[in-house]
Every structure is written in C-alpha cells, then in structure tokens.
Structure 1
C-alpha cells in the first residue's frame, strides 16, 4: 500500500464527521506578532475542490475564507495548511490558499511514490515545505516503509520536513524508522500518547528522548483529541506543558481546525488559544512555540 492510499470504500456524499464550533469565543490571551497556527486543514468547498473518491471521511465544507477570518479573530498572522486525506493527493485547495496569502502560509503535502517530479516542483515553488505520513487505522493504517522512503527521497533535494501522525503505541513501534529519517521530523498532536499513562508512560518518555535528538519537533496541538477528561482538557494540557518545559525549542502549536473526526469533545477554538499560557508558562516559551520555532522549522522570513 502506498503512503496515502486508503482501503477501497464507497465514501458517503453526506458529511460523516461534525463541523467545528461555529461560535469561537474571543480569547483572552493575545498571541504575539507573527504567531503561527502550525496545524490546520481547509476542506473544499467540494463543488470547487472535490473530495477524493476513496476518502476515509467526508467533511463539512470549511473553505479558506472561513479559516482566514478565524485566524484574524484569534490573532494569528501565519499558518501551516496540512493536507487532509479527504482531499488525498489533490492539492488544489492547498495551492489556492498559498497563492492568496502573500507568503504568510506554508503547506504540508500528501504524496505517493509515483508523484511526478514536476508536481513536487510546483508544490515547492508554491510554499509547500513538508510531507505527512498517517499511521492511524481510520486514515488508512501504517504506510509502506518502502513507499515512505521513496517519497522522502523525492522531496529531500528541497529540504522538506517529514510529519508523522501516530498514536503512542505506533510511536514506540516506529522509533527506529523515525530516528532513521535524515530530514527534520515533527510528531503530530503530542504523539497522541495515552493520557492515562501520564508523564511516566513509555510513549511519553520515548517522545521526550526523540526531542532530545535536536532534529525532531512535536506539535502541542490536539489536546482535545487525547483528553479523557474533556474541556478544559487539563489531563492533556499537563502532558503538553511537560514537553514545553522539557524542550521549549522543539515545540510548535496549532489549532487543528476544523477538528476532523472529533466524536467526543468538539473544542472551541478561542478556548484552545486560552490554553496556550497553560502549556507554555512564560513569555519566552510562548514566543518560541508560536513565532521563533515555526519561523525556523517552516522557513518563514525572519523579522
């Protein structure tokens, strides 16, 4: 199976996951100038940018106009569009956003080993700077290692990073693979570790050791995904805070808007922003997480 191919299925024409909270609260916390939302998606609109025929889920349309208005409301000047499996390897929605945001946004692609070289050239020129591999069963399952290596070889000349979306158990099972990657790596959503294990869990310890290598980062996004307690997600925030304390120069933050496939605790994006001071407890760490680290990692202009 290729890195981004899902098992054959007949996708629903109707949305199969809920939309985001349509009424984000104005956050009390004000992000610093140049703050970056390092993980979000844009969906459709489907009549302009059709969803993939073999997509694993069907979202509600959440176009770039809604995303950009949300960023203005929350106080983010930069962002990173992570291509979703519902669009597969069709990057037209991503390219459309990058073309209209004056270099303030970057993209992360989904690629197959047979992606043409000229397509990678086009994506790179538009502002794509990374490739994502999903290991989660509901997004297609563990990718082919040979396929991953073929894709990474294709993008290596452009200096792209590699984004890894795993659960805690898969993180442990994939340590040798992750540490063998020569490019910069970022682990999504706090590694989706089991919050019940806390900071003493094997996966959490492995994640800390990965950060110590100096070439691996983690996104302190998706606390709503891994929380068992629900809003305000104190159990997951505690894990994110421990990572920000441990490796402040290796952490990034994102909304994960519009929160696809959330089934329990649909977050309010304004309330997520107000968790930032709980995750990054001092101004220096907050600036690293929101401005300096993403500037370095995604190649935004400095200053």
Structure 2
C-alpha cells in the first residue's frame, strides 16, 4: 500500500477504533488536544520542513473524532501553513462548541487580530521551534506580545527539543501564561529519558504553570524505541507533574508518520501510559476542558 492510499484509508476511517458504549458513558468528556487540518490547495509557508501531498479536511477530522469516541478536539495550526490560520478558523466557526484552536502568529501581530481569533475559538499560540532559533523573549516586541497573550487568557504551546526547554520555558512562565509542552518534551530519540533536557523538564512539575502533552511517541523514537521511551517518560511525568497537568492528543493525521500511526493506536497507547481509568478520565476530560476553555 503506498503512502497516499494509506492516508486515504486512514482518513476514511478503516483503521479507527470503536469504543465500547460503557467507556463512553463513564467518560462523558473526551478531548483530543492535538490535531491538524489542511488541504493540498492551501498556500504553504515559504519556510517549511514539510509539505503534505494529501488532504486532512475539517470533515475528515470531525469524522475521526466520532469514530474514536472523542467529544471535543483542539486544532493546532500546522507549521507549513505559517501564520495564515484561516482554514483552522473556518473549522472553529463550523463547530464552535466542539472545537478550540491554537494559532501561529508573528510577535508583531496586532491586538485586534488576536481578539478576532479569540472570538473564533482560538485559545492560545503555538511556538514550533524545531529548526528555528530561540525567540528573543526579552525584546520589547516579544514582551508586548506576551502581555497581549496574557490579557486574552491564552496559553502558549511549545514544540522544541528537550535540551532547549530549560531556556525557553522560564520566560513564558514568568510572563504569567500557561505553557503546554508538546510531544513528551521532544526528548532525544538516542537518549530517551536519560536526556538531560527531559530531567530539566521534570523540574517544572513543581510549579503550576506547565502542562505536557502525551502525544506522538513516534516523534521521540522509531518503532519499539519510541514506545519504550514514551512509556518511561509518561511514568516519570505522572510522578513529577501529577496526572492533572497531563493531556493527550492523537497528533492526527500524524504528519510525516502517516504509515506507522493511527488515532486508534494513539488512544490505546494512552491506556498504557495511564493505566488507571479514573486518572485517564482526568487527562482526557477534566484537565483539557479547563486548559482549552471548553468549560467557558
């Protein structure tokens, strides 16, 4: 099966999970906090590491949520679309109660534009710093930007290698905004939980302003290595942060890993990372409902 046909079958739902009715009844709120929507005909950012050759449409995503037993979803602006958040916003306007969004903006973005996004269901910004330098958070432009983010009650999501988090997170925490770290903190696949940056990330568990996403195990190691790293990392993150500051995301449509991942597998992995059903309900429901303002 080639990559494009695999993606088509995945989006069509042939590889999804059907949840027992009892599980759905016990966990009335189940939130997928990390996914992307896009189509091939959208204008791509000039600087990008990846360009999709298939569509992951709004309709596809909503259908996937239904099949995977999710009541709500959070859409993350994909980096290859840059700061043009319009397609994601169209999804939020289509399902204002069911969806929330995390946008990508330049620090020079005007307050009116940010307020418009907030009115459409955007609840935060993403900093995807893979392949990019650390932002100059101490500069006047960034200080003003972070003040606008705080005034809106938004969060900031960070995707960066674990070794960089010790420098990246403190300025954001000090700015008074909630910070969400993507994909287990992007620990080094060669080091796993021995990554010194991961140990530093655990230190932020003592505070109350940092959350971590259990998502995209394939981004921290190939095959069994990724599974092993994710299981070990999840256990240590639970100890350091408590389950109340962990959330889960499908990472749909698993960009660059479409042939090795499915939403069903992502959900079954969560049961391994958080074996206790009551704790899983917190990570799937109570915590993300508050963090992404579904209860607002």
TM range (shorter): 0.7 to 0.9
The within-5 A match list for 1:141-290 is: 141-145=133-137, 146=139, 147-230=141-224, 233-246=227-240, 247-262=242-257, 266-290=260-284
| Deviation readout 1:116-142 (Å, 9 max, x if unpaired) | 2221111001111101112210xx443
Distance 2:18 2:271 in 1: 11
Distance 1:74 1:52 in 2: 31
Shift of 1:208: 1.6
Distance 1:200 1:235 in 2: 10
Distance 1:150 1:21, change over 3 A: farther
Q: Does 1:57 align with 2:80?
A: no
Identify which of structures 1 and 2 has the higher relative contact order when contacts are C-alpha pairs closer than 8 Å and 6+ apart: 1
Runs of 4+ in 1 over 4 A off after TM superposition: 18-21, 27-31
Distance 2:129 2:226 in 1: 27
SS at match of 1:39: strand
What is aligned with 1:26?
17
Q: What TM-score do the two structures reach when normalised by structure 1?
A: 0.84
Distance 2:183 2:19 in 1: 23
RMSD, matched Cα: 2.6
Shift of 1:88: 1.1
Q: How many residue pairs are counted as aligned between the two chains?
A: 282
Distance 2:255 2:135 in 1: 20
Q: Is the 8 A contact 1:44 1:50 kept in 2?
A: no
Shift of 1:238: 2.4
Q: What TM-score do the two structures reach when normalised by structure 2?
A: 0.85
Q: Is the 8 A contact 1:20 1:266 kept in 2?
A: no
SS at match of 1:272: helix
The within-5 A match list for 1:68-79 is: 68-79=62-73
Distance 1:25 1:232 in 2: 21
Q: Is the 8 A contact 1:186 1:219 kept in 2?
A: yes
Shift of 1:287: 0.9
Higher helix share: 2
Q: Is the 8 A contact 2:244 2:287 kept in 1?
A: yes
Shift of 1:194: 2.5
Distance 2:237 2:219 in 1: 17
Distance 1:20 1:81, change over 3 A: farther
Shift of 1:165: 0.9
- Which of 122, 139, 148 in structure 1 is aligned with 2:116? 122
Shift of 1:195: 4.8
Distance 2:203 2:234 in 1: 15
